[in-house]
Amino acid sequence: MSEYEDPNRDRLKNHFAQRVIHQARQVLEVWQRLQASEWNAGDMSELVEANTRLLRYAERFEQEEHAQLARRIATSLESVEANRGRLNSPLISEIHQLMQRLSRTGLRHGDLAESFLPPLRKPVYLGLQDQERSERLAQQLEFFGLAAQALHSAAEFRAAMSERHPAAIVMEVDFGGRAAGLALAEESQQGLEQKIPVLFFSHDETDAPTRLAAVRAGGQEFFTGAIDASSLLEKIEILTRTAHYEPYRVLVVDDSRAQATHTERVLNSAGIVTRTLTEPIKAMAELAEFQPDLIILDMYMPDCTGTELAKVIRQHERYVSVPIIYLSAEDDLDKQLDAMSEGGDDFLTKPIKPRHLIATVRTRATRARSLKARMVRDSLTGLYNHTHTLQLLEDARARARRDGKPLTFAMLDIDHFKKVNDTYGHPMGDRVIKSLALFLKQRLRKTDHIGRYGGEEFAVVLPDTNAEAAFKVLDDIRQRFAEIRYPAQPQDLSCTFSCGIAELSPDMEIKRLSSQADQALYIAKNGGRNRAAVFQE
């Protein structure tokens, strides 16, 4: 029998693939640490070493997708070294995109020809008294794309901790005995420089001393009564910051090329993408194209002062909330205050220490992103709201027409949702909505846009995807979502959704595309629900 006919060969390849995935996690963990600080030689060498191991393993175990990514990351890192360790915006963007692809490897069903690989994340350790509940919860988390390991004793937990630290710990207060879970969680944190998020659980309501003990043991969340996968995942996502890192984007406007270049280098050293402009009159066109998180303005420029440019920027509703920081040699406090009253958010005086500049930019950009998210996102699910989803669809349509690539739009609706609300109450209905939102975020690509259209209805914009590929992905999500169980009385609840899919055709307006997806959804609902349908003329 040749190796191609060996039935164990694929199983062996999958086994070895786990080692490649583990190494890919190591690369991503080093990369994430770099985002929190300025890059230095030690950080660079650690990332290079981790990526070299990834390439070696990927080639040895025939994981071509990982091997290709590792080669491209290596080339980008060589460019950084050739640039004497300095980062520039194109390099930051390039490495970031490669890391995004690495982090998403295996998450989207169908992207890999043969197998569905687990996500590139550390596992979550579950320490619950009820072994059946623990196994079921681990399985449910797997449905959401999160690796989870149910541990059935304190000894098993300690053994797992000695082998590998998890992304988070879910610990029952009485795991292993009365209040033993508290002590076990506290023990697991001893000697760790970076603490592991702990989420405690108790069947019964607990008193203040127990809650205080949980906080002292590293507890950052506390569940009582019932615990379900979607609520748990939502908290883990927040606590472990597993959302993909997007580099901040800063537009620097300064008539001095030397000063602009200096500012650019300082921010690039912290992994911040910059674009510099020495002609302020071109700022509005650059804003529309670059879409920065923050703007740095010189106060005194010959053709247009910083305060004048700030006024022009603030006249456009789209940029009202973008922070503007003046960076100038002006040290007159009254003039600084006057400038800030003209649309500025902060005033930094030259010369400024690099750390001070980086910290200010990060703080302001973080707050701006948070505010923007509240404006364009649905408060319950964190998905884009109806209005912004349509804006994203319009933007995607323009790109698809420009690049000659396909675009698909899908509408999803939870089946018999009114019955869920009437039977189990609105809190359960909200939990199901949030659960589907999380499920879609976990299973779709980062380039896909997911919105809550209203009530129990969702919308998905899938760029560079035809209707056939969209159907395959969304139908798989539909089947997996139906397997999720929500703890309830008298019996656990499960839900399904129906889906309508439409593909953009030449010269089609988004109103018509949306209408076609809606018609396909109606066909799916009318055909018995819990199914996906593609619009046919």
Please give, one letter per residue, the 3-state secondary structure of 443-504: HCCCCCEEEEEECCEEEEEEECCCHHHHHHHHHHHHHHHCCCCECCCCCCECCCEEEEEEEC
Does 409 lie in the same domain as 530?
yes
Of the candidates 111, 89, 101, 377, the residue with the CA atom closest to the CA atom of residue 251: 89
Does 453 lie in the same domain as 325?
no
C-alpha span between 15 and 20 (Å, rounded): 10
Does 395 lie in the same domain as 368?
no
DSSP H helices, 257-305, are 257-268, 283-290
Chain mean pLDDT for the chain: 83
Does 278 lie in the same domain as 305?
yes
* Alpha-carbon distances, residue 393 vs 390, 489, 498 (angstroms): 5, 40, 21
Residue at 381 is within a domain: no
- Tokens of residue 328, six digits: 């100038």
Check if the beta carbon of residue 531 is closer than 8 Å to that of residue 513.
no
* Alpha-carbon distances, residue 159 vs 153, 164, 178 (angstroms): 10, 9, 21
Residue at 1 is within a domain: no
What's the total number of domains in the chain?
4
Residue at 118 is within a domain: no
Q: Point out which residues pair with 407 in neighbouring strands.
A: 463
Does 259 lie in the same domain as 232?
no
Does 165 lie in the same domain as 91?
no
Check if the beta carbon of residue 171 is closer than 8 Å to that of residue 185.
yes
Check if the beta carbon of residue 500 is closer than 8 Å to that of residue 439.
no
Does 508 lie in the same domain as 467?
yes
Does 525 lie in the same domain as 390?
yes
Q: SS3 breakdown of the chain: % helix, strand, coil, rounded to 5?
A: 50, 15, 35
Check if the beta carbon of residue 407 is closer than 8 Å to that of residue 503.
yes
pLDDT band at 336 (very low <50, low <70, confident <90, very high): confident
222 phi and psi angles, rounded to 5 deg? -140, 115
pLDDT band at 104 (very low <50, low <70, confident <90, very high): low
Please indicate whether residue 29 is annotated as part of the active site.
no
C-alpha span between 357 and 380 (Å, rounded): 35
Give the mean pLDDT of 246-271.
88
Residue at 134 is within a domain: yes
Residue at 111 is within a domain: no
Helices and strands (DSSP H and E) totals, the chain: 19, 15
Q: What pLDDT, on the 0 to 100 scale, is given for residue 5? A: 42
Out of 325, 344, 373, a domain closes at 373
* Mean pLDDT lowest among 136-140, 155-159, 516-520: 136-140
Does 285 lie in the same domain as 415?
no
Give the mean pLDDT of 483-511.
88
- In this model, does residue 458 exceed pLDDT 50? yes
Q: What is the CATH number of the domain that holds 369?
A: 3.40.50.2300
Q: What pLDDT, on the 0 to 100 scale, is given for residue 2? A: 38
pLDDT band at 272 (very low <50, low <70, confident <90, very high): confident
Catalytic annotation, pick one of 172, 234, 286, 456: 456
Of the candidates 110, 94, 82, the residue with the CA atom closest to the CA atom of residue 477: 110
* Alpha-carbon distances, residue 312 vs 143, 283, 308, 328, 343 (angstroms): 49, 10, 6, 19, 9
- For residue 74, count CB atoms less than 10 angstroms from its CB and return exposed for 0-12, middle for 13-18, buried for 19 or more: middle
Q: What pLDDT, on the 0 to 100 scale, is given for residue 105? A: 63
Residue count of the chain, please give it: 537
* Mean pLDDT lowest among 182-186, 228-232, 299-303, 348-352: 228-232
DSSP letter assigned to residue 244: P
pLDDT in tens, 150-169: 999 999 999 999 888 888 89
pLDDT in tens, 367-404: 888 787 777 888 788 889 998 899 889 888 988 988 88
Does 459 lie in the same domain as 391?
yes
Q: What pLDDT, on the 0 to 100 scale, is given for residue 531? A: 92
The pTM of the whole model exceeds 0.75? no
Does 183 lie in the same domain as 165?
yes
* The amino acid at 262: H
Out of 240, 264, 285, a domain closes at 240
- In this model, does residue 289 exceed pLDDT 80? no
C-alpha span between 95 and 505 (Å, rounded): 34
Q: What is the CATH number of the domain that holds 501?
A: 3.30.70.270
* Mean pLDDT lowest among 78-87, 252-261, 346-355: 78-87
DSSP letter assigned to residue 119: P
Residue at 109 is within a domain: no
Residue at 447 is within a domain: yes
Q: What pLDDT, on the 0 to 100 scale, is given for residue 512? A: 93
> Which residues form the domain of 195?
124-240
- In this model, does residue 109 exceed pLDDT 50? no
Residue at 522 is within a domain: yes
Does 257 lie in the same domain as 362?
yes
Give the mean pLDDT of 116-127.
64
Q: What pLDDT, on the 0 to 100 scale, is given for residue 279? A: 87
Can you point out the beta strands (E) in 10-67?
A: none
Q: What pLDDT, on the 0 to 100 scale, is given for residue 502? A: 95
Out of 210, 240, 270, a domain closes at 240
Q: What pLDDT, on the 0 to 100 scale, is given for residue 38? A: 65
pLDDT band at 81 (very low <50, low <70, confident <90, very high): confident
Q: What percent of the chain has a predicted confidence (pLDDT) above 70?
A: 89
Question: Is the Cα dihedral 522, 528, 532, 535 positive or negative?
Answer: negative
DSSP string, 172-211: ETTTTSTTHHHHHHHHHHTT-SSPPPEEEEESS---HHHH
